[in-house]
Structure 1
Amino acid sequence: MKFLKYFAIVALATIILQSCNLLSAAGIGSQAQPTKQVEGELTSTTANSSKNVDHSEWDALLKKHVNSEGLVDYKGFQKDEAKLDAYLSFLAGKDPSNDWSVQELLAFYINLYNADTVKLILENYPTESIKDIDGAWTKGRAMVDGRALSLGGIENGILRKMNEPRIHFAINCASMSCPKLLREAYTAGKINEQLDKATTEFINSDKNEIKPNNPKISSIFKFYPKDFTVDGKQDIPGYINKYSTVKIDAGATITYKEYDWSLNEQ
């Protein structure tokens, strides 16, 4: 009887531990990373942080292997994979903390997500879609100070908790319906302007069909509806109208475009 009770306790503990690990991998947990929030209007600055991270290695790779449409030359990236590995190793040696500014944290995790997504594709290249890769978003792979972060965890457990919905247009999931991969690294000194550019370009691109009465918009807005607010209330049309050249009428019926998960390759 005691053995059965012990076995039951061990089994329950194992289930709880596995559940916690799955939740963390899926992005519910922050994976022991800081999640400082943007307060008020985000400004671009390097003056308020204990650390200023140099992302120039990643910047050079993006300028070399990403075109103006945000499509990626993965075969070219393969030739520079050692440089990508060096950049990821550089990030792995950092230990982000709340002493870093929110600008530095945003730039760090956006660049980490994008660089490690490219690395994931290179490890499985050729591939038709990131969705064909087992555990693409749930396996711990992006190293930071000895911790293996999952891509889903970086997005959902860290970036989405920072009160900056524009991150959805900055991180790139290597797919055609994703926001395009910016041809420059995100930096604290330009973060607000870069996020504005990424958001404005995405909303006004062919990823959406913005019309006053019957807009058909990206499924990104369906995936994360609570993130897009105006005056503290969920308002997808109102959020889009802040950036769109065509305004959506109040009460318009919104539909969502099918998401194209095919590889964003040149």
Structure 2
Amino acid sequence: MKILISSLLLLFSFSTFAAPKSELWDYWNVSNEKNATTISHQYWQQTLDKYLMTKGEFTLFYYANVTDADERTLNSYLRQMSRIDPREYKKAEQYAYWVNLYNAITVKIILDNYPIKSITKLGGLFSFGPWDEEVIIVAGKALTLNDIEHRILRPIWNDPRTHYAVNCASLGCPNLQSKAFTARNSDKLLDKAATEFINSNKGVLIQEDKVQLSSIYDWFAVDFGNQTQLFKHLKKYRPELKSFKGDIRYDYDWSLNKQ
């Protein structure tokens, strides 16, 4: 009976999963372009330096090896970020802030629940992952991961490369970058992340007359445009790609990105 219930819940989760729409939360669409102050992401960088490693086309995280002291460092970083009102900073500084915050919170969620096989196992009874759970308070507002990605990052910046920046702790996801985002390096990091993903099998796998794309390009098709526009985007980072006229398959591996 338990196996049947678990199977039904799994089918329910996958069959009802749909990518959230990009819907602006006006409260966050404010900036101070005269503010030259930078936000320090040193603690997040320390975490990445110590526990992130590259293996083939993946970057994997040593969740099992994180010490109590280093987990406290990560928690300190999140407390620092929660005390900041990003609206007081330049938009470029804000972008790095939100991407790093999203990724750091995701790592913390995994650490708080480790060991698990997939982030999709977290959340409520009928939830597909923890993305709708309130995880931090910033400038007096309780935020979920979906708020950060779909109500702030996507609608304010309208840059499809954001999908290569935020990491969902899964093998099918674009890699967690080894460098923390900053106002100065964000554009280069976004191009680097796009290049890595589009040149990986998990991003774009071509076999003779068939092509398999990451489900990201299906879920967020509105951000990449029609098929012609999508392949124009892909070709920018993988020049040998040609426009594809056949059927496209989509796939995504939700297994945890653990080492």
Indicate the TM-score class for this superposition, using the shorter chain for normalisation: 0.7 to 0.9
Q: Is the 8 A contact 2:22 2:154 kept in 1?
A: no
Give the aligned residue type for 2:221. Answer: P
Residue 204 of structure 2 is aligned to residue 238 of structure 1: no
Give the aligned residue type for 1:171. Answer: V
Going by fraction, where is strand more abundant, 1 or 2?
2
Residue 44 of structure 2 is aligned to residue 55 of structure 1: no
Partner of 1:65: 51
Q: Is the 8 A contact 1:226 1:234 kept in 2?
A: no
TM-aligned CA deviation for residue 228 of structure 1: 1.1
* TM-score when normalising by structure 1: 0.78
Give the aligned residue type for 1:102. Answer: K
Superposed, 1:127-138 pairs within 5 Å as 127-135=116-124, 136-138=130-132
Residue 65 of structure 2 is aligned to residue 76 of structure 1: yes
Report the count of equivalent residues.
228
User: What do the CA deviations read for 1:135-181 (whole angstroms, capped 9, x no partner)?
Assistant: 50001112313322100111111111111110101110011101111
Partner of 1:225: 221
* TM-score when normalising by structure 2: 0.80
Partners of 2:228 and 2:40 in 1: CA distance: 36
Partners of 2:194 and 2:30 in 1: CA distance: 21
Q: Is the 8 A contact 1:92 1:144 kept in 2?
A: yes
The alignment's C-alpha RMSD in Å is: 2.4
Match for residue 170 of structure 2 among 164, 175, 178: 175
What stretches of structure 2 of length at least 5 have no aligned partner?
A: 1-19, 125-129
Partner of 1:42: none
Assess, with a 3 A threshold, how the Cα gap between structure 1 residues 227 and 190 changes in structure 2: closer, same or farther. same
From the CA coordinates, give the structure whose radius of gyration is larger. 1
What stretches of structure 1 of length at least 5 have no aligned partner?
A: 1-24, 37-46
Match for residue 262 of structure 1 among 232, 255, 259: 255
Partner of 1:164: 159
User: Helix, strand or coil for the counterpart of 1:67?
Assistant: strand
Partners of 1:238 and 1:48 in 2: CA distance: 36
TM-aligned CA deviation for residue 264 of structure 1: 0.6
TM-aligned CA deviation for residue 76 of structure 1: 2.4
Identity of aligned residues (%): 37
Partner of 1:13: none
Residue 105 of structure 2 is aligned to residue 116 of structure 1: yes
Structure 1 residue runs of 4+, over 6 Å off? none
